[in-house]
Chains A and B, each alone.
Chain A
Amino acid sequence: MTPDQIKELAAQLAVPFYQDAAFWIGTVIGLAGVAFSALAFFEAKQAKRAAVEAGRVVKIETVKIELADIAQRLDKIDPSMDFPAVRDLLNEVNRKLRRQLAPFQRIKRYSVPCVALQQAFEEARAALDTVKPADPAADIAAIVVYNVMEGPLWTISSLVGEILGLFEAATIESPNEQRNEQSG
């Protein structure tokens, strides 16, 4: 390398890198990449939240339909229902309610009526025990079963109605309101 060539190289190196257009082109492209990645991240997060919200709404709608059906069944108790019929109704309703409400019991707004519902079932079970035939030959008049069980089943029906109302309110409220309540 000749001294002239060395001088020319030294002159080129003496120019600051930020005065080079190529540096700025690369920097702008890099920053644009980071910005688009961040946008994509936030969009994906929002999409995930929307998907979870949609899943929750579908689940709540399913539970609402199930609860309305249970409330209707409880209202249909009539004086001709004997002990086995009322026992089967109570068992079926208890099983369905526990299955449907299990995912919501830890959410603050549902926990109190769920505990009340559990207690109402215990009371209804105790009332049912008072009309359980002492032996297979003995029977108890359906009208007696009706008179004993009508009150406890009414209590359960009322609590189911209250929980149904809470689910209906949940579909009206914004997701932010619900998140605030769940975290609060």
Chain B
Amino acid sequence: MSNETNNLGEYIAKLQELTRLGDIGWFKATPAAYAAIRDTASGRKRMTILRATRTPAAPVDKRPPDTAALLRRALSSPAQSEGGEALRRAYFLFLVEGLGGPSKQTEMMIDTREKPELYEAFERLFEAAKSSVDAQSARILKELVG
């Protein structure tokens, strides 16, 4: 792993730590993404972390269709299908946008498909953001029940 990648890993770990301490307030942007807005020396920025799943294109089977197999395949979810787990690969996208101007400017984006060595660091950050949002939800529910 290069020094630059090491540095990136350290910064992601720091973001995770700040999230754990409650210094970064994440909110749910999509069912699979969390976002947070943070003021920095160079202006206000929004960071988004998204977890997606990639399924490599399966080769098309040239054999005659087996009706029973097709039915089984249609009735089972993709993850349950034979080899489904092996074909699936989760990845993370981490995006930072500058909010200073009239429109958002993409400042950086990291894709763990291109930097797989950062996968685990982003997985920990994603879980921390998820816990942070769950904790907020729990607080709201606690207020509601008095």
Contacts and interface: CB of A to CB of B under 8 A. Distances in A.
A131 B63 CA distance: 36
**Band of interface residues on A:** 20 to 34
Q: Interface residues of B: mostly helix, strand, loop or mixed?
A: strand
A119 interface: yes
A131 B33 CA distance: 7
Contact of B30 (A131, A143, A159): A131
Given A144-B50, A147-B93, A159 B60 contact: yes
B48 interface: yes
A184 to B, nearest CB: 9
A130 B93 CA distance: 12
Contacts of B97: 141
B31 A134 contact: yes
B65 to A, nearest CB: 5
A22 interface: no
Interface stretch (B13-21, B104-112, B117-125, B138-146): B104-112
Contacts of B93: 144, 147-148
Given A131-B30, A138-B27, A112 B65 contact: yes
B111 to A, nearest CB: 6
Contacts of A115: 65, 70, 73
A148 B31 CA distance: 14
A162 interface: yes
B50 to A, nearest CB: 6
A43 to B, nearest CB: 36
Contact of A143 (B58, B78, B109): B109
Interface size on B, as a range, is 20 to 34
B52 A148 contact: yes
A139 B48 CA distance: 10
B95 interface: yes
Nearest to B106: A143
Interface stretch (A55-63, A90-98, A120-128): A120-128
Given A108-B65, A147-B93, A123 B55 contact: yes
A116 interface: yes
Contact of B32 (A130, A138, A151, A159): A130
A123 B81 CA distance: 13
A115 B23 CA distance: 49
Interface of A: 108, 111-113, 115-116, 119-120, 122-123, 126-127, 129-134, 138-141, 143-144, 147-148, 151-152, 154-155, 158-159, 162
21 contacts: A112-B62, A115-B73, A116-B58, A116-B60, A119-B78, A126-B53, A129-B32, A130-B30, A131-B30, A133-B30, A134-B30, A138-B29, A139-B29, A141-B48, A141-B95, A141-B106, A143-B109, A144-B93, A144-B109, A147-B93, A147-B109
Nearest first, the 5 A-B pairs at minimum CB distance are A130-B32, A155-B57, A134-B28, A148-B52, A111-B65
